[in-house]
């Protein structure tokens, strides 16, 4: 499985990264859209050829088109939503195509495999895995503690190696977490594969835990 950090509309960079990685299923940790010029291509790629989780940018995008009122008006546009509108060839007043809206609404918050736990943001220490699996997690969570917005470092979760994105503003390269002062991949319990925005797209191959990186080319 090829786990990919926050792509944010950079389709050419994504494809260049995947060419470096083993021939395996691609999985986005969320934030496929916004900022870069090719959000539609990224969405269509994962819709047809892989799996993806819901990120905060997809959630803001859905809120914008559905008029749900979860976020303050215009928050998605303030977070580079116009780049996605341009990629979709939509105006601000247009509706989202039904097939694409259905796809975004189907994105899960969490992916579980044997020994592996993948989310968009690190799971806040107050949440159990059962809480994240609940369909109303986003509705009953304080937004800053939800699994698509949390900025806190992860805590160990017995039996699982955790992979997430979202926090890349803090890290130049993929960031491993363990219980020691010296952080080594072989002793880690979690890794953030989102990296400094606009510089490097990172991915992790599971179960080898090999990190791959690609400078942005979009």
Range of the domain at 202: 2-215
For residue range 120-148, list pLDDT tens digits in order: 999 999 999 999 988 899 988 899 999 99
CATH of residue 147's domain is 3.60.21.10
- The pTM score is 0.95
Pairwise CA distance, residues 61 & 141, whole Å: 19
Q: What is the rounded average pLDDT of the residues 170-179?
A: 87
Pairwise CA distance, residues 44 & 32, whole Å: 10
For residue range 53-109, list pLDDT tens digits in order: 999 999 999 999 999 999 998 999 999 999 999 999 999 999 999 999 999 999 999
Asked whether the predicted pLDDT for residue 179 surpasses 70, the reply is yes
The number of distinct structural domains making up the chain is: 1
Which tokens go with 166? 């979202």
Instruction: Decide if 58 contacts 104 (C-beta within 8 A).
Output: yes
Of the candidates 16, 11, 29, 8, the one whose C-alpha atom is nearest the C-alpha of residue 204 is: 29
């Amino acid at each position: 499985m090829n786990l990919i950090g926050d792509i944010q509309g950079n389709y050419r960079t994504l494809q260049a990264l995947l060419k470096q990685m083993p021939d395996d299923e691609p999985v986005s940790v969320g934030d496929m859209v916004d900022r870069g010029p090719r959000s539609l291509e990224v969405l269509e790629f994962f819709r047809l050829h892989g799996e993806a989780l819901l990120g905060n940018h997809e959630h803001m995008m859905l809120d914008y088109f559905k008029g749900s009122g979860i976020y303050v008006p215009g928050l998605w546009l303030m977070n580079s939503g116009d780049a996605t509108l341009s990629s979709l060839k939509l105006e601000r007043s247009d509706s989202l195509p039904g097939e694409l809206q259905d796809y975004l609404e189907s994105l899960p918050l969490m992916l579980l495999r044997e020994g592996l736990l993948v989310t968009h943001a690190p799971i806040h220490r107050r949440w159990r895995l059962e809480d994240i699996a609940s369909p109303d997690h986003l509705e009953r969570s304080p937004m800053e503690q939800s699994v698509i917005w949390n900025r806190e470092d992860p805590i160990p979760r017995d039996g699982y190696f955790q992979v997430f994105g979202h926090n890349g503003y803090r890290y130049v390269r993929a960031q491993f977490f363990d219980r020691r002062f010296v952080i080594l991949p072989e002793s880690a319990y979690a890794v953030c594969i989102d990296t400094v925005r606009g510089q490097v797209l990172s991915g992790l191959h599971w179960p080898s835990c090999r990190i791959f990186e690609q400078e942005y080319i979009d």
